[in-house]
Amino acid sequence: MQIDAVNAYPNHGSIGKVIRVHGLAGTSNADQRELPSDLDSVSDCLDRVPESWLLYEVRLSERPGRRWDAFVGTLLPVPPQELRDVLGEGWDELIRVEPWLRPC
């Protein structure tokens, strides 16, 4: 699916055409990684996710053994340094952050 999105996202500048990368959002290494058990830490991390990241999905699911799978889908990629600055060290052990759209 292609979407014309010229100048649609001023926080990220002109990106031109973007395409959906099927199969990436919500299908990363969630099955292979150790899921967190501290709901307060997961919730605190999710609370720090800003709207400026152009969110399309934020999901928190309980898994067997009182483990938590937290997912944040963004419309466009967020730079790794910004992820660390906003969410703090170790954020990737608590939640998954993945882009839905990628620049062509």
With beta carbons less than 8 A apart as the criterion, state whether 70 and 49 touch.
no
Tens digit of pLDDT for each residue in 28-41?
444 567 888 889 99
In the prediction, which pLDDT does 94 show? 92
Tell me what pLDDT residue 95 has.
94
List CB contacts of 84: < 8 A, sequence separation 6 or more.
91
Q: 46-86: per-residue pLDDT in tens?
A: 999 999 999 988 999 988 888 899 999 998 889 999 999 99
What span, in angstroms and rounded, lies between the C-alpha atoms of 97 and 104?
20
Single-letter code of the amino acid located at 6: V
Give the pLDDT score at 26: 41
* Position 12 confidence tier, pLDDT thresholds 50, 70, 90: very low
Angle at Cα 74 formed by Cα 13 and Cα 85, nearest 5°?
80
